[in-house]
Structure 1
Amino acid sequence: MWCIDFFKASFRITVPALAFTLSGVPSGRAQTVSVAAVCNPASDGSNPCPRHIRLHTASSLSAMARVGKAMFFDQALSGSGHFSCASCHEPSLHYGPAGTAPVFLGGRNADRQGRREIPGLTYLERQPPFSIGPDDAVADDVVPAVAVPATVTAHAAKSAVNTASSAANLVPQGGLFLDGRADTLLQQARGPMFDPDEMAANKDQVIKRLQTADYAAPLRELAGVRGQKSSDFLLAEGLFALARYQIENQAFHPYSSKFDFWLQGKAHFTPEESKGYVLFNDPAKGNCAACHVDTVKRDGLPPLFTDHQYEALAAPRNMALQRNKNPSYYDLGVCDQKPDGRKNLAPYCGMFATPTLRNTSTRQTFFHNGIFHSLEDVLDFYVLRDIEPQRFYPEDTRGKAQLYNDLPQVYKSNVDRTDAPFNRKPGDVPALSRSERKAIIAFLKTLTDGWSDENDNYKK
C-alpha cells in the first residue's frame, strides 16, 4: 500500500521483505502479516530503499493477439457500424474515456446512455476472479469463494498498517466491471459488444464479420476445424483474441510512470509529491493506501494501486443520467450482478469496484455514475462528505441534506463511515486540509504512464 509511514507505529522497516506480528486485534490473537519494503522519500525526493520489480518484456504480438488488435479497432463489430472498443477506450488516454460525459452514448443510433461510467482497460491482467472472503489486502492470492454473512456485522477499521484488524471483514473482491460480474477478459469483451446501450451488436452480425473481415482468414486458421464448423466457437475464439491483445500488448500494462521509476530508485519526487505520498499513506490522514495498495509483494510485481475490493462510498445521485429520473431506480453495484442479489448479497448493495489509481489524473469522470469531473472534486468528497454534506447532496423541504441520496434507506448502513477520512461528522476537523489534498493530487499525477527519467530535474 505504497511506501507506508510506519513512524505512526513507532518503527520503520527498511529491509527488502519480512514478516512482522501485529497484536491487539479484536480476536485477541497476534496475526502475522507479510510486508514488502516500506520507506518515505528522502529529503531530496529519492527513494532510500529502491526495489527491484518484475516488468513485462515487450515482444511481438502472437497471431491471435494480432487478430484481437484488428477487432479492437473494428467499427463494423458494432450495431451502428460506428463504434469500436477504441471508441470508449482511447489508446492515447491509457485506454480510458475521452471527454466529460458521465457515461458513453451508444446504441444503434448513438443516442442511448450507458449504464455506468467507462472504466479504463489498463492493468487488468492480474485481476483475480470474483469472490467474497476475508479482507486481506496483502495476501498474495485470492481464493475463489463466496461467504456472505447472514447479518451485517460491525466493520473493523481498515488502514495500510493494520491489515490484521480488517481481515475479520468479509468483503467482495476480484472480478471485472464495476460490479465484478465477469471473471476473465474474454467474458468482459462480450459485455459491451452486445449491450444495446453500447456497441449494440447482435450475434449473427458479429459472426458474419468474423467470417468476412480482413482478419477472418487468420482467425479461421487459429480456430481450427472446430471454428470452421461451429460459429459459436469462432465467436468464442474472436473474444479470446481480444483478451490476448490486452494481455500481450505492453501498452495495457506498461508500468512506466514516474512512481515506477522512483520505486526503482531512478527518479526523485518533488517536495509536493513527497508530501502527498506521505499523506496518501498516513492512516490518520488520507489513508488512501488502505484500498489503493502500493506494496511490492513476494512475486516482485509492481503494485496495482487497488486491493481488488469493493466499497460503498455513497456518491451523490447523478441527475444527468436518464435512468435516475425514475425515483425508484437505483444502481446498487455488486448486489445487482445477480437477479437475487438485493436479497442474497444485501450487505454489499451500493458497493463498486476500487479502481487502480494508475493514470487516474488523465480521467475526466469519476465514480460509477460519472458524477465528478476532477481529482479536486473527488478529494473534496472523500474529506468533506459527512462534514459538509450539503456540498454534495440536495436538501429536503426542511433544508437538510439528503445523505447518501443514491441508495435506498435499507442499504445506507453499508456505506463506509469507519475508515479515515470518512470517519467524520459535522463540526469535525477534516482529515486533510485543502493544501494537503492538493499535495495528494500532485502525487497521483506521478502514476501517469509515459514518464521519462530525462524529465527528472532533481538529477540534473
Structure 2
Amino acid sequence: MGRALNPRTFLAGAACLAASIAQADTLPRALEPADFFDIDIEMAAIGRNLFFDKVLSGNDNISCSTCHHPALGTGDGMALPLGEGGVGLGHTRIATDTNIPLMRVPRNAPPLFNLGARGFEVFFQDGRMTRDRDAPFGIQMPKGNTLERRMPTMLSAQNLLPILNVEEMAGQPDENAIGLAVAENRLTGEGGAWDLIAKKVEAIPEYRQAFDWIIGPDEPLHISHIGIALSSFISYEFRAANTPFDRYLRGDNGALTDVQMQGMELFYGDAGCASCHSGTLMSDFGMHALALPQFGPGKRENPDFPHADEGHMRASGAYKDIYTFRTPMLRNVALTAPYGHNGAFTSLEGIVRHHLNPIQSLGTFDRDQVLLHDVPSFTDDWVALDAVNETLQIAAAVSIAPVELEDAEVDALLSFLEALTDPVAITGRLGIPLSVPSGLSIDMPAQP
C-alpha cells in the first residue's frame, strides 16, 4: 500500500506535513524488483560490451554510449547530439573534416533510467513505438520498420532502431554498406541493414564465443540477439529504484528532508506535477504540448508546419497531437540536463519554471542558454524559433495550465526532485569496460 497524502498549500513545518500526509489521497508505491523484467546476467555482460562498442555503427565511429554515457546522466549533456561523423564526447565533441555530419540529431538524447520497467510501453519522445496487441509481434513499430522476430521486451525491440538511423549510427549511403542498405530501405532479411550489423558482430570471435554459451554454437547470430543483449544491460545497469523517495514510500520516515517533504506536498498537490508525472514510474506516458521553444532540424512531414517539430502528430497523423511529446519519467532527473524533447533548458530550475507559465516562457526564451555543438555548416538552427506564425501555433497548442508558485516553493520542488536520485544507477552495476571485443576505442569524458 502507498503512503497517504492530502494535497494542500505549501507547508513550512515537518509536523504539519506529517499530519496532512496522513490523510486522504495516495502516493504511488515504491518501485520494487517485480516491476522490472528478469535479467540474464550473461546476456547483460555481452550487452555491456556492445553498448560501448562502435562496431554497431556503419563507420565504426560511434557507439550507443556516445550519446547515452553514464558519466553524462546517460545522455550527452547537449541540447541536440552531434551523432555519426563526430569525434569526442559531450561538450568536447566536434565534427570531423572528412566525415562531416549532414545535420544535428533532431531531438535530445533521452536518459536510459528504468527503460527496462514492465510498465514502460511508449517509446521515443513522440510515442511512435507502443505496445499494440494487433501489431506484428504485439509491438507497433515506427513507420518503415518491421520486426523479424518476436522480442521478449519492448526495449529489446527499440534497441534495433538507432543503429538504422543515418544521423545517429548508420552513416550515409556513400560511406558504408549499412548506410547504403538503410538508404535503399533494405532493412530486413539477407543482406539487409540488420543482417549486415549482425554479421559484423558475429565475425568478432569474442562476441561469437560469448553468444555460443547462450544461443548455442550452431545458431547464427541474429539482430534480435543483439537487441536482447543491449536490453539486458540497459535494464540492469540503469535501474533506478532506491531513491530517497522510494525509501520513504517503503516506510523510512527519515529518508526525506523537511524541504523535500514540502516539495513532495507541492508535487502531489498544488503544483499539479502529478497530473502528468503519475504512478509508480512517475509518468502517465501521455502526449502533452508544453510550448517548448523549437530549434534544430526537428522531425516533420506536414508542409503546413515547415519548421517546427511536429511531435506525436508525425506518428498519429492527428492534428490534435501537434507539438505534443511523451511525459518523461523522473528518477535521476537531476542528472539528465538539458531538459525537454530538444534540450531547450539547461537547468532543472529552468524547465520547472517553464511549466509554471509555458507561453510566457516561450515568449521570453533566451536562445543563448542552448547547448549546441559549433558546426558552421548547420545554418538553420533557429529557423523554427524565428518563424512567428509557427511560434504562435506552438503557444496556442499548449495543454497545461499556468501555476503560481513562490520562489521558496520552487526551491522545495527542486529539492524533492533531487530526492529522486538513485546513487547506484549513477555509478552503474557493471560499469564501463576497459576495452571492447572489436578493439575499437571507447568514448570517455575529457579529463579536467
Shorter-chain TM band? 0.5 to 0.7
**TM-score for the superposition, normalised by structure 2:** 0.64
Instruction: Label 1:175 to 1:207 Cα distance change in 2 as closer, same or farther (>3 A).
Output: closer
For the residue of structure 2 that corresponds to 1:316, the secondary structure is coil
1:335 counterpart = 2:335:
no
Identity rate of aligned residues, in percent?
25
Matches within 5 A, 1:431-450: 431-450=404-423
Cα 1:389–1:252 shift into 2, 3 Å: closer
2:53 and 2:412 map into 1 onto residues whose CA distance is 41
CA distance in 2, matches of 1:273, 1:5: 14
Q: Distance in 2 between the 1:384 and 1:376 partners?
A: 13
Matches within 5 A, 1:41-440: 42=15, 53=30, 55-56=32-33, 61-94=40-73, 96-99=74-77, 101-109=78-86, 110=95, 111=101, 112-125=103-116, 126-130=118-122, 144=132, 184-200=154-170, 202=178, 203=193, 205-213=196-204, 214-220=206-212, 222-224=214-216, 227-228=219-220, 234-247=222-235, 249=236, 251-266=237-252, 267-282=254-269, 285-293=270-278, 295=279, 303-318=280-295, 321-322=296-297, 328-337=306-315, 341-342=316-317, 345-387=318-360, 390-392=363-365, 409=393, 414-417=397-400, 422=401, 424=402, 431-440=404-413
- SS of the counterpart of 1:199? helix
* 1:41 to 1:51, Cα distance in 2 relative to 1, 3 A: farther
Contact 2:156 2:228 in 1 (8 A): yes
Q: How far apart are 1:357 and its partner, in Å?
A: 1.0
1:208 counterpart letter in structure 2: K
- Is the 1:77–1:205 contact (alpha carbons within 8 Å) kept by the matching residues of 2? no
- Decide whether aligned partners of structure 1 residues 346 and 145 sit closer, same or farther in structure 2, where only a CA change above 3 A counts: farther
Q: Deviations over 1:378-422 (max 9, x none)?
A: 12211132356532389xxxxxx999975684x7654214xxxx2
- Compute the RMSD of aligned alpha carbons: 4.2
Q: How far apart are the structure 2 equivalents of 1:60 and 1:385?
A: 41
5+ residue gaps, structure 2: 87-94, 96-100, 124-129, 148-152, 172-177, 179-192, 368-384, 426-448
Name the amino acid aligned to 1:113: R
Contact kept, 8 Å, 1:67 with 1:218, in 2: the verdict is yes
Q: Separation in 2 of the partners of 1:317 and 1:216?
A: 44
Per the TM alignment, residue 329 of structure 1 is displaced from its structure 2 partner at its CA by 2.4
Matched residue SS, 2:222: helix
How far 1:348 sits from its partner (Å)? 1.3
Equivalent residue pairs, number: 339
In 2, Cα distance between the equivalents of 1:195 and 1:117? 15
Give yes or no for contact 1:65–1:241 (8 Å, CA) kept in 2.
yes
SS of residue paired to 2:66: helix
Extract unaligned runs of 5+ from structure 1: 10-39, 132-141, 147-173, 296-302, 395-400, 425-429, 453-460
Closer, same or farther: CA 242–402 of 1 in aligned 2, 3 Å: closer
What TM-score results when the alignment is normalised by the length of structure 1? Answer: 0.62
| Matched position secondary structure for 1:304 | coil
Question: Greater relative contact order: 1 or 2 (C-alpha under 8 angstroms, separation 6 or more)?
Answer: 2
Pairwise CA distance, 1:60:
8.0
Once the two structures are superposed, residues 61-83 of structure 1 have per-residue CA deviations (whole angstroms, 9 ceiling, x without a partner) of 43333222221111222233232
